[in-house]
Amino acid sequence: MSLITDRLSTYRPTNAIEQEVALAEIMQQIILFALARTDFFERAMFHGGTCLRIFWNLRRFSEDLDFVLKTPSSDFVWKPYLDAVLNECNAFGIDLEVRDRAQATGAVKSAFLKTNSIGKLLVASLPHARNSAQKIAVKVEIDTHPPDGADGESRFLIFPGPAAVTVQTLPSSFAGKIHALLCRKYIKGRDWFDLLWYAERGIQPNLALCRSAIHQVGPWQGQATEVTNPWLTDRLAEKVRSIDWSKARIDVARFLTASDQRGIEIWSEALFIDAVDRLRRSWSV
């Protein structure tokens, strides 16, 4: 527990909410560490908001651990990997409840990991008051039939120990985010927070992966749509003009520190059209 206490101190949470999301992120890293000590990352890649947060310092917290198989397989099961996570957590003195949705149909396989061990053991040393019975929950998800074209690379955890994790490259990760922005059936402010992050860095998306994802799932599924960089920026601009930005701000606010929440006060159509225009210019170079 002293290792976890020391790690929590690096977050410097200013209130109970920030403390809770920091504890969840610590739990996420322990789960990643456990998975890395198996053959999991020979088969899968980590991606999504939590990946950006942990390995590229994205300034927002995230709830889930999202993975894709490198090679599609309907035979993937979470159980052997969840058993490894249970054993690793036990070594840290953390008791886990596991709910594996093994019977669920579809390509995405999910499991839910919950614990109140950390809260009970740390309650005396936490900087902010916390109900010791409150559970920390982490969902793990893997797409067993992802779109073709993703690239991966190795990145390294340092907490709770050194471990290599296979992650999607930033261009591939951005392709997945663009697909979510254009094809998700509801508005998720976190997606748009991430778009600003990518736009600031001038990341070029993996266009082959974009095409594959857009043709596989969403309103353009099965169509012969010619997905090009100009087509993507035009569709993003259309999406920007359709969004209620007050609702988008509400979605992302709870995943930001108090100081970072001030940055979303200026979210508007004009801001995101500017971001799309910056992408248009950087992609045309």
Tokens (6 digits) for 10: 């690096």
pLDDT digits (tens, 9 = 90+) for 215-238: 999 999 989 899 999 999 999 999
8-state DSSP, 38: T
Q: Which residue has the tokens 């920007």?
A: 240
Could you give phi then psi for residue 55, rounded to 5 degrees? -105, -15
- Helix H or strand E segment including 180: helix 170-183
Give CA–CA dist 136/116, Å, rounded: 6
Q: Are residues 161 and 230 in the same domain?
A: no
Same domain, 233 and 111: no
Question: What is the CATH classification number for the domain harbouring 28?
Answer: 3.10.450.620
Token readout for 229 is 């960089």
Element holding 281 (H helix, E strand): helix 269-283
Q: What is the mean pLDDT of residues 170-182?
A: 97
Distance CA 109, CA 92 (A): 26
pLDDT of 124 > 70? The answer is no
Last residue within a domain, chosen from 120, 141, 168:
168
Higher-scoring residue by pLDDT: 215, 132: 215
Mean local confidence (pLDDT), 168-172: 98
Count of the separate structural domains present in the chain: 2
End-of-domain residue from the set 134, 151, 168: 168
Token duo for residue 18: 């920030």
The residue range of the domain holding 220 is 172-283
Give percent of the chain with pLDDT exceeding 90: 74
Residues 41 and 155 in one domain: yes
* Three-state DSSP class for residue 68: strand
Examine the fold and report which residue of 145, 168, 191 is the final residue of a domain before the chain moves on.
Answer: 168
Mean pLDDT confidence for 33-42: 97
Same domain? For 115 and 45 the reply is yes
DSSP letter (8 states) at residue 141: E
